Amino acid sequence: MGSLDLLRARLVVQTGIKAQAQLAGLWQQWGDLIWWQTDLGAVAANLVLHSGFQVESVQVQRLAALMKWQQRPAGWLVWPDQAAEYLQPALVANGFYHCENIRLLSAAAEKLSIKKLSKNIFISHEPENIIQPLGLNQQYLFSEFLVNCHAIPNSFAHVVAEAFLAQKLTESPAINLDYAPVFSSWAVYQAGKPVASITACLLKDKSQLIGGLLWLGTLAEWRRMGFARQLTAHACGWLLANGVNFVYVQSSRAAIQLYLDLGFRENGNLELWNWWP
């Protein structure tokens, strides 16, 4: 993965977290160290997003102690361009353990194949199965879905839902990007409740418009019906319509083929390290 792609992938991750940090906890930066800390009981709500390229063990020790101070689950992201062989032992020594390799993927706009992704998927003519935008009036339903789909605490789910639903879209959201990123979320409904959802982020990196895909998920009983593919194609279509040049996503191993089918390429692993009280 090129250095520019890594910078932009980090920017997408940090943009999503920063929107949540405006509602809860503290967004903090100390030199190259960047982290978000809250009193919410979730790894993703107490997270070191970046720890520089030549971080000293004493800095790791101090930040690890700070992340553990509130006795809440905590996480630490290790990016491919960091000195993992040096950082990993320091994390182990401070009680963190390697939890997951998150796949990093990117795609140039001209490489995305929305039609290919939409081929041979479950499509229903029932109104409830149509992709619908999520707005502030669906905040409670969205947070309830996030709890059930992503197994996060209700308090954290409310923060995520409000962060991603707070903005009203204009016809041309790109005109606002010099001031703040724009988020848009969609869901597939059954019996009046979301059963699958995705959030897209539109932001500017210098003169380039880039997009990110966040929080894709489907309730367990509604998986393997094509909802995730429909939502991903829809979100990518929205990003393309708004003029993005590149799209970035972080994926679990289970979902990676969906993105490869769309035209994304794999760019290495983002390591997630956890600590539990």
Q: How many domains does the chain have?
A: 2
Each residue's pLDDT tens digit, 1-30: 568 888 999 999 999 999 999 999 999 998
Give the whole-angstrom CA distance, residue 274 versus residue 251. 18
Domain match, 258 and 188 both: yes
Instruction: Say if 256 falls within a structural domain.
Output: yes
The SS3 of residue 241 is helix
pLDDT at 120 over 80: no
Instruction: Say if 122 falls within a structural domain.
Output: yes
Asked if 37 and 68 count as a contact pair (C-beta separation under 8 A), the reply is no
Each residue's pLDDT tens digit, 162-221: 999 976 544 454 445 555 788 999 999 998 899 999 999 999 888 788 999 999 999 999
Give the whole-angstrom CA distance, residue 210 versus residue 242. 10
Give the whole-angstrom CA distance, residue 83 versus residue 102. 17
Instruction: Say if 276 falls within a structural domain.
Output: no
Domain match, 96 and 122 both: no
Instruction: Say if 151 falls within a structural domain.
Output: yes
Domain match, 117 and 67 both: no
Whether pTM > 0.85 for this model: the answer is yes
Q: Which residues on neighbouring strands pair with residue 74, listed in sequence order?
A: 275
Domain match, 204 and 140 both: yes
86, with CB counted inside 10 A (0-12, 13-18, 19+), is middle
- Residue 197 to residues 12, 38, 55, 215, Cα–Cα distance (Å): 18, 25, 37, 8
Each residue's pLDDT tens digit, 142-172: 999 999 999 999 999 999 999 999 765 444 5
Q: DSSP of 16-66, one letter per residue?
A: HHHHHHTTSSEEEEETTEEEEE-SSS-GGGSEEEEE-SS--HHHHHHHHHH
Each residue's pLDDT tens digit, 22-79: 999 999 998 888 999 999 999 999 999 998 777 777 888 889 999 998 899 999 999 9
pLDDT at 128 over 70: no
Asked if 107 and 240 count as a contact pair (C-beta separation under 8 A), the reply is no
What is the percent of the chain where pLDDT is above 90?
58
The domain spanning residue 163 has which CATH number?
A: 3.40.630.30
Give the whole-angstrom CA distance, residue 266 versus residue 39. 34
**pLDDT value, residue 178:** 58
pLDDT at 116 over 80: no
Beta-strand runs (E) in the chain: 26-30, 33-37, 47-51, 74-78, 97-108, 132-133, 182-190, 193-205, 208-218, 246-251, 265-275
**pLDDT value, residue 181:** 86
Domain match, 195 and 88 both: no
Residues in Cβ contact with 116 at an 8 Å cutoff, skipping those fewer than 6 apart: 261, 262, 263
Give the whole-angstrom CA distance, residue 224 versus residue 100. 23
**pLDDT value, residue 23:** 95
- Looking at 103, 126, 156, which one is the last position of a domain? 103
Domain match, 126 and 56 both: no
Each residue's pLDDT tens digit, 81-104: 887 778 888 899 999 999 999 999
- Which residues constitute the domain of residue 35? 3-103
Model confidence band, residue 250 (pLDDT cutoffs 50, 70, 90): very high
Q: Which H helix or E strand runs over 262?
A: helix 256-262
Domain match, 41 and 142 both: no
Domain match, 96 and 200 both: no
Q: How far is CA 41 from the centre of its chain?
A: 18
